[in-house]
Amino acid sequence: MGQAPSSVLQIALLVLFVLPGLTYQFLRERWRGPVPGEQSLGQRMVRAVFASILLDAVYALAAGPQLLRLARGEGHSGWTVLAERPRVAALVALLLFVVVPAVAACAVSWWERRKLRSRYSVTATAWEHMFRDRARCYVRVRLRDGSWAGGRYGHGSYATSYPQPAELYLEESWRMAPDGSFVAPVVNSGGLYVRSADIDLLELVREQLPPDAPPVPGVGRGS
């Protein structure tokens, strides 16, 4: 195994060869979305390292001598100028490691979207779309064994998002009739946990309950 970086120069070189590509890769996936060839972490890291090498080559061609003089300074030994001018070093680092990779990711994503007939949505799955910015509502699910479960989805509820497995926590559990209608809230309910792997059907009901449900304080009936 290789040794960990033991000097400021080694750490700087490690950051230089990794960080620009990581910024580019993260933002490209955010704006464009992952592609089939980048499902594993190793593939994504290879792409990030390649992007870093490409960006570093552009930096060297465009302003290599200036960056070297900025890092070493005039009449200084070693790399002490980085400590003597931290604001300048931070500004250059922000430009090289964040701003330029972000602009590159934005440009590549925009160009790729122009060539696609369909638009990419940052919402990865229908499950995530269903619960993103979801207002308070009631949820009923038919499990794979044919039984029904349901409850109230509110501010204290939670739905997992991609890439985590689809799971749902309802802040209030309800007793359900055999036909799937809501009967009444479970007394002293601490919530209900549901896995998508156990669900055969899931339905969202707006906070106005269906006509067959009993009145609940603060909740109107459906029309």
Residue type, position 63, single letter: A
Condensed to tens digits (0 to 9), the pLDDT of residues 185-205 reads 999 989 999 998 899 999 998
Ranges of beta strands (E only) in 90-196 are 137-143, 148-153, 158-159, 167-170, 172-176, 182-185, 192-195
Output DSSP code: residue 197: G
* pLDDT of the residue at 1: 45
Of 3-17, 59-73, 157-171, 208-222, the least confident: 208-222
* pLDDT of the residue at 209: 54
Paired with 173 in beta bridges are 151
Instruction: Answer yes or no: is pLDDT of 220 > 50.
Output: no
**What's the rounded mean pLDDT across residues 106-123?**
65
Condensed to tens digits (0 to 9), the pLDDT of residues 161-178 reads 777 888 899 999 999 999
The class of domain 126-206 in CATH terms is mainly beta
Condensed to tens digits (0 to 9), the pLDDT of residues 34-88 reads 565 566 667 777 778 888 888 888 888 888 777 777 666 555 555 555 566 777 7
Query: Mean of the per-residue pLDDT values for the chain?
Result: 76
Q: Which two tokens stand for residue 88?
A: 């300048």
Ranges 30-44, 62-76, 106-120, 125-139, most confident = 125-139
How buried is residue 217: exposed, middle or buried, by Cβ count under 10 Å (0-12/13-18/19+)? exposed
Of 15-29, 118-132, 148-162, 171-185, the least confident: 118-132
Report how far residue 11's alpha carbon sits from residue 44's, in angstroms, rounded to the nearest whole number.
22
CATH code 2.30.30.100 region(s) in the chain: 126-206
* pLDDT of the residue at 217: 39
**What's the rounded mean pLDDT across residues 127-148?**
87
Report how far residue 190's alpha carbon sits from residue 93's, in angstroms, rounded to the nearest whole number.
49
pLDDT band at 140 (very low <50, low <70, confident <90, very high): very high
**What's the rounded mean pLDDT across residues 75-103?**
73
* pLDDT of the residue at 174: 94
